[in-house]
Amino acid sequence: MRVVSGIQPTGNLHLGNYLGAIRQWVAMQHQAESLFFLADLHALTVAIDPKELASNTIEMAATLLAAGIDPDKAILFNQARVPAHAELCWLLQGTARMGWLNRMTQWKDKAGKNREGASVGLFTYPVLQAADVLAYQATHVPVGDDQRQHLELARDIATKFNLDFGVELFTLPEPFISPAAPRVMSLRDGTAKMSKSDPSDASRINLIDSDDAIAQKLRKARTDAEPLPETMAALAERAEARNLVTIYAALAETGTDAVLAQYAGQGFGAFKPALADLAIAVLSPIRERLTRLLDDRAAVATVLEQGGERARGLAAPTLLAAQRAMGLQV
């Protein structure tokens, strides 16, 4: 089983990122051969600041390392260090079809009414996503609901290439269905996801936040005046309360029912300090490791280069085989 997954280098991560993809990656590296990459080539589909992209890539890599990604167990790298991603993407663009890409929901959402002004990369980046996984003969790809369509496209491209050139080259990747990640919502609005793009820093807990900042944000998190009930069903109409219980359960690696069994009947005056203590206990070691890693950015870059070298070795045979199938190599 070989798993491949990527994440955009967008700078500092927050609690929602950690409890979602990152913690699953940390567990996954012990279950399968794993390649995790910083999708810096994907970042080029929109306007960028080169210095900011370079800095964000190092910071994101340091965050993954601080959160528990072990470069001795998983291969951690950034796309740009492995030319096979871009080269295979170009080869696969001869196989992909305009109609397939036109149906991509994210293309429609991100381009909106300004399709004429959107970059070509924004339109074709699902082909690069296909190359990201097909280059390594990935058997499984972790996907959320928003990426299932892109994985299906990768399978379609792989199937058509194999048929067009009479080869059995590309493995058809399957979705990796891991335990459901918690849907972490804003601390200011329980109906909106926790997001870095939210203008209010109080809406999220950043992995670099101090202990005091974590405690203050949770203390001021929006809730209601009612005590906690005995069941999650009773929180169906209490979005902010449900969110805090979900966060507690995820941090404690337990179920929401167990949390409510402990705190049912208590108000948020008691629950919020307990949640803050738990969040600090889990996140402060990550922040401390991250701070140390960012004190030596060159060392983080070395990890990425070493990971890139390993990834290049894995991708090279597939790229060569694709070139030979197309008559580009003899």
Catalytic residues: 110, 193, 196
**CA 254 to each of CA 159, 247, 277: distance values in angstroms, whole numbers, following the listed order:** 41, 10, 16
Cα 252 off chain centre by: 21
Helices (H), the chain: 15-17, 23-28, 50-67, 84-93, 98-102, 105-111, 120-134, 148-164, 211-219, 239-252, 256-263, 268-294, 297-325
Q: Tokens for 155?
A: 């399978």
89: left (phi over 0), alpha (psi -120 to 50) or beta: alpha
**CA 35 to each of CA 5, 18, 30, 171, 224: distance values in angstroms, whole numbers, following the listed order:** 7, 18, 12, 16, 43
What is the chain's length?
A: 330
13: left (phi over 0), alpha (psi -120 to 50) or beta: beta
Residue in 8, 5, 4, 77 with CA at minimum distance from that of residue 41: 8
Rounded Cα gap, residues 17 and 147, in angstroms: 16
Q: Tokens for 14?
A: 């927050």
